[in-house]
Amino acid sequence: MRNLHELAKICMNELDTIHIPYNKEVTFTTNTRAKKRAGAIAMKDKSTMSVFEYLIGVIFYELVSMIWFQNILFRCLPEMTYHNSKLILWASLVGSIIFSTIVFKYNKTEWTKAATIIAPYGIFTVIAYYTTVPLVIKNVLIAGVLLSICYSVIKLTRKIKNKKHSGQIIKNRIYRCICVSNCILSTSMLVIMLFIGIKGVFGIALQNSSVIPEAYNVNSKQTINNNIDVIVKLQPNTWDKLNVKEKLDVMQTVANIEVHYLGIPNEVNVGTANLGQYTLGCYEDRTHTAYIDLQHIENGSVYDVLDICCHEVYHCYQHRLVETYSSIDEKSKSLKIYSKVQKYMKEFANYKNGYEDFCSYYNQKCESDAREYAEDAVFDYYQKIEEYADILQ
């Protein structure tokens, strides 16, 4: 029995060392192949979810975040139409999903999922708002790039102990650097989006003027002549050279002048917001704020922007008239002077914003009066500018 056992052992050893010809030049033994499998270093899969879970999560949150982005941060890309801008955004979302599925094959985690969702919105925001807040965008992105470089240098310069598989180890490290850098840059872009969008969440203008808004004061010097050094910036050749902040300063000065002329007892704040494809300006009485569409103040005609500002300030005046009308005794409400105000009150109670029926919006008394006032105001400003230019000559 012992002899049979020893014979079997010898046979097994012989089988392990039999050469199996593959071609004329290369032969392998079963022992050698086993050793190669045991010694190889493969790409480490650090995924915490399956491909299906990853894709479902990314698609769901991208669709949800689109609602937030559309209402607060979306604006047309420079020199592009609304339709093309939306098309590019959707293409970016799809491209991000495809790219991340391939690149993050071995690293499907919550971090990479978040980076995939943020990246397309972040890139779109950087391009769309670069001319509006260039300093913030530059500083945040530079900080993100430097942090990514520092991490990559530290990771790639670490000593490799297993020299035999140094090539595969370096590949693993490079892959890790790509994943982490992607997360860092996505976080940087999230900071930019929050900086710009947080104001919109709380109903604050995306950008405000540095000029202090003023209410009516009997002793105020808020007139065109007293602010002519600012008003001359409304000349097209000067206006086009101003940045958004400087344009807002001019419009806030105009608003202060209009408040003085109309005798409005409260200030009117001038700010910018993304008002949508067809809205150039609006007035919110809750915060006494006249909003001018950001895209329009950047690229629109100075005449139109001035008209919008005067138009929205006049809406504030109309609201004060309605308040006054509501506070007087019933006998006085029948006075002819209040006939317009009665109409304003009814229209404000059931205001037509023009999205569903433009004609109903356009023909409202509050809108036609505001248009008429703004048209006269624009004429007055440029007449004063011409008179000032004649004096200088």
- What confidence tens digit (pLDDT) does each residue in 91-101 have? 999 999 998 88
Distances (CA, A) of 94 to 35, 120, 151, 277: 43, 9, 29, 24
Q: Render the burial of 332-347: b for 16+ CB within 10 Å, e for the rest.
A: eeeeeebeebeebbeb
Tell me what pLDDT residue 104 has: 83
Residue reference for tokens 């008394």: 365
**Helix axes 51-72 and 166-201, enclosed angle (nearest 10):** 30
Distances (CA, A) of 318 to 115, 214, 312, 371: 48, 18, 10, 13
Tell me what pLDDT residue 191 has: 94
SS3 378: helix
Tell me what pLDDT residue 6 has: 56
pLDDT in tens, 291-300: 999 889 998 9
Residue reference for tokens 């006998």: 331
Break the chain into its structural domains and give their ranges: 2-39, 51-201, 207-392
Q: What is the DSSP letter of 338?
A: G
What percent of the chain is predicted at pLDDT more than 90? 47
Q: How far from the centroid of its chain's Cα atoms is residue 286's Cα? A: 25
Distances (CA, A) of 24 to 27, 28, 31, 317: 8, 12, 20, 97
| Residue 54 CB contacts under 8 Å (≥ 6 apart), including other chains | 47, 101, 104, 108, 113
Tell me what pLDDT residue 205 has: 64
pLDDT beneath 50, residues of the chain: 2, 4, 7-8, 10-12, 14-39
Return the closest-CA partner of residue 190 out of 142, 240, 122: 122
pTM of the model: 0.68
